[in-house]
Amino acid sequence: MRTHTAILALPHEIISQIFIQCLPPYPLCAPLTGRDSALALVSICGRLRKIGLAEPLLWRAFQITSIPDDNAEDPTWVNRVNDWLNRSGATPLSIRLAFAPEHLDEAIFVELLSAIIARRERWEYLHLVVDTTAISRLSGPAPLLREAEITVSEESTWDVYLLQRAVAQKIRFSDAPQMRKVRFWDVGCTVDSLPWAQLTALTLRHMSLGQCLPLLAHTSSLAVCSLELVDEDPPTPVVVRIESLHAFILRRDDSFDAEMHWGSSVTDYLSYFDLPAIKRLQIPMTFLSGDPPRGLERFAKLSGCRLQALLIVRGSDEYTEDDFRSAVAASGRITIRDEDEPEMDWPV
């Protein structure tokens, strides 16, 4: 009781700072509900509740990672999100919705997303899983947005590709001067979708190389890039030069067909790139030329680069680390791992 009284005697500003330090450091998100939520902090007593509800920084970052089966039709999800957004005042926002939209009643999800879109002028960090119909609604100005991670849900993607219930839409952030980091999974985009020249980190998943190349041609500030590619349309012969890129990650995307054949459209993915500053490269063996060691050596020579770290996902046991030594600096590291080994991928 004495400790409780001592805490209550502290100035409001100190109590607010104690509350803020109890939450994950921004832009990491606290859960919307539960013992790790800001709601737990304001449930201790009436005075602390009053202080907490009046502190916008407590409510500027939240996440919903899953929807319990028995809560899929609970309309209070929208009320809870609106409460957080209203309490956050005019502060920039970090929002993470990591559950599949189909796990929530469709009308409730639309209303929940509408509440978030209504505050778009305050988005700073946005991580969303949405259906294809939401893409056009997300498009528009985002003046504070620094980081956007948008995933189109797998079920929604099947609607487009198989059931033809929806039309794939292209996203466009028309005013995003702060944007630096983007991760898109199956999000349609064009050269007009983003301020590509501003980006320093980019991840594109479930796109073909031919779709990526025109976009990458505009990424003059890119430092880290990850592409998870499907084997579809052959690209137009072109070489994209990115002078600032120092880490490049190429992966196969076989999420829709694990047995799909690779190599029919593109036989040497690196031949489309000129990357003079590249230091770290991750690539599947199947993305290299018919003679992988010579193909990698040719890429390094034409780009004028010297790799410091090379990670190859093995397609066969034909080659060893020593076969690729000529493309890597003497002090550089070479790793070859099998496809079924645990992931060693570099973060983006």
Q: What is the DSSP string of 128-157?
A: EEE-GGGHHHH-S--TT--EEEEEE-HHHH
Instruction: Give the model's pLDDT for residue 2.
Output: 52
The rounded distance, in Å, linking the Cα atoms of 10 and 65 is: 35
Using alpha carbons, select from 326, 328, 330, 277 the residue that is nearest to residue 303. 277
Q: Are residues 44 and 101 in the same domain?
A: yes
Tell me if 268 is assigned to some domain: yes
Q: Are residues 118 and 221 in the same domain?
A: no
Q: Are residues 124 and 23 in the same domain?
A: yes
Q: Are residues 72 and 202 in the same domain?
A: no
Instruction: Give the model's pLDDT for residue 346.
Output: 59
Instruction: Give the model's pLDDT for residue 267.
Output: 73
Tell me if 1 is assigned to some domain: yes
Q: Are residues 202 and 174 in the same domain?
A: no
Q: Are residues 178 and 267 in the same domain?
A: no
The rounded distance, in Å, linking the Cα atoms of 170 and 166 is: 13
Q: Are residues 178 and 223 in the same domain?
A: no
Instruction: Give the model's pLDDT for residue 169.
Output: 81
What is the rounded end-to-end Cα distance, in angstroms, of the chain?
A: 48
Q: Are residues 55 and 104 in the same domain?
A: yes
Distances (CA, A) of 80 to 70, 192, 232, 329: 17, 35, 43, 54
Q: Are residues 200 and 118 in the same domain?
A: no
Q: What are phi and psi of 284, to 5 degrees?
A: -70, 150
DSSP E strand stretches across the chain: 30-31, 61-64, 93-97, 123-130, 147-152, 181-185, 201-208, 224-230, 240-241, 247-252, 273-274, 280-284, 307-314, 328-338
Q: Are residues 253 and 337 in the same domain?
A: yes
Per-residue pLDDT of the chain (348 residues; tens, 9 = 90+): 455 566 777 888 999 999 999 999 999 999 999 999 999 999 988 888 999 999 999 999 999 999 988 888 999 999 999 999 999 999 999 999 999 999 999 999 999 999 999 999 999 999 999 999 899 999 999 999 999 999 999 765 555 544 444 446 899 999 999 999 999 999 999 999 999 999 999 999 999 999 999 999 999 999 999 999 988 766 788 999 999 999 999 999 877 555 555 455 667 899 999 999 999 999 999 899 889 999 999 999 999 999 999 999 987 778 999 999 999 998 999 999 987 565 555 555
Tell me if 190 is assigned to some domain: no
Q: Are residues 70 and 177 in the same domain?
A: yes
Instruction: Give the model's pLDDT for residue 166.
Output: 44
**Residue 101 is part of which domain span?**
1-184
* Final residue belonging to a domain, choices 160, 184, 208: 184
Tell me if 189 is assigned to some domain: no
Q: Are residues 81 and 177 in the same domain?
A: yes
Do 19 and 52 form a contact (C-beta atoms < 8 A)?
Answer: yes
Torsion sign (Cα): 160, 182, 278, 318: negative
Tell me if 31 is assigned to some domain: yes
Total-model pTM: 0.91
Overall number of domains in the chain? 2
Rg (CA), the chain: 24
H helices present in the chain, as ranges: 2-8, 12-21, 38-41, 46-53, 76-87, 106-117, 135-138, 154-158, 209-216, 292-303
